[in-house]
Amino acid sequence: SLKANIGDYQFDNVLLNAAGIRCATTDELDKILDSQAGGCVTKSATPEPRKGNESPRMKATALGCINSMGLPNHGFDYYLKFAEANQNKAGKQVILSIAGLSVDQNLEMLKKIQASSFDGLTELNLSCPNIKGESQIAYDFEAVREILTDTFKFFKKQLGIKLPPYFDMHQFDRIAEVLNGFPITYVNAINSVGNGLIVNPETESAVIKPKGGFGGIGGQYIKPTALANVRALRLRLRPDISIIGTGGIRSGQDVFEHILCGANLVQIGTQFGFEGTKIFDRISRELKEIMDKKGYQSVADFRGKLKTL
C-alpha cells in the first residue's frame, strides 16, 4: 500500500502536488482531490490577493524549469474557505500553504487559521525566493526562531515548515537545532533552488523577465540537493517530526529514493506542471512495481533506510 501519515493525518497515497503548481484555483484543487493523489496543497497565500510578477515569469527546459511568479494568488480567505470545505474527505488531506511578506502577515494568517474551523495541516512557507527586495526567511536562523516563538504563543493546530535547500553541513545543524525547539509536525524539503539563471544562447537573453532573469529552479536539476536535504534533516530532527520530500520527482524511482532518504510523503511540482493529475496514477504504478519487485509491502518498510558505504 502507498498509505502514509503525517502527525495525526492519514493519506491514502504518499504523492501530493507541490505548492505553486496547478493549485491556485478551486477548480485546480478539486482536480487534485479527485485524482490518485493523497491530497492537495494550496498555492501559498498572502493576506490579500496578488497579481504577481510581470510575464514571462516561468520557463520550462529539458531538465526542469525556472520561475519567478511573485506569489500570484487569490488571497488567504479564498484558500481557507476551500480548506474548511474540503477537510473531511477520508484519506485525502488539504494542506493550507501560507507565505506572508512579513512576520506580521504570517502571524495574522496563523491567527485566522487558529480561530477557524479548519483543523488540518498548515504549511508555513519560509522559503519563497521571488519577492523583490525580500530574503528567504529560512536562511536567517534567528528570524526562524523568532517567528516560531511568536507563532506557538497562540497556535495550537498542526504546523509544517517549507524550507529552502541548504548546502552546508552547519546549516543543517543550525536549522535542525532551531526547529527541534518547537512543536512542529513536519518540514517540507525543499522549495526551489533560489535565484538560478537560465540563459538562451540564441537570443543571448535571460528567459524570464522579473529580477533580471533570476528565479527558482525546479525539476531534474535539483534532485540530488533535495535528497541531501531530506536525508540531512532526517538525521537531525526529532523522530516525531515528519518530512515531506520535494524536488526532482518524475518517476516512481525518484519517489523511492526520497523515501529511502527519510521522506514520509512526497510532493511533485515541475513534472506535475508538465503532466497534470494523471501523473499521480503513473508514478503510483511505478512505485508499486519497485516495491513488489523488492518485496516491500508498505513505504515504512524502507523509509529512511538508506545505506552508506
Does 189 engage in binding with ligand DHB (CB under 6 A)? no
The residue among 113 and 161 lying less far from ligand DHB, judged by its C-beta, is: 161
Among 7, 38, 39, 70, binds ligand DHB (CB under 6 A): 70
**Active site (annotated) includes residue 127:** yes
Query: Using an 8 Å Cβ cutoff, are 299 and 48 in contact?
Result: no
Find, among 41, 94, 101, the residue nearest to 71 by Cα. Answer: 101
All cell numbers assigned to 219:
525539476
Among 100, 213, 216, 262, binds ligand DHB (CB under 6 A): 216
All cell numbers assigned to 5:
501519515
Residues linked to residue 124 through DSSP beta bridges, in sequence order: 98, 161
130: three-class secondary structure by DSSP: coil
Q: Any residues with CB less than 8 A from the CB of 266 and at least 6 apart, and which?
A: 14, 15, 16, 244, 245, 246, 249, 255, 258, 259
Residue of 44, 128, 192, 284 marked catalytic: 128
Among 36, 86, 127, 225, binds ligand DHB (CB under 6 A): 127
> x/- contact string, 90-119, with ligand DHB (CB under 6 A)?
---------x--------------------
CB of 165 to ligand DHB, least distance (A): 11
Binding range to ligand DHB, per CB under 6 A, among 78-86, 104-112, 124-132, 175-183: 124-132
Q: Any residues with CB less than 8 A from the CB of 136 and at least 6 apart, and which?
A: 126, 127, 128, 129, 164, 191, 194
Return residues touching ligand DHB (CB under 6 A). Answer: 20, 44, 52, 67-71, 99, 125, 127-130, 191-192, 216
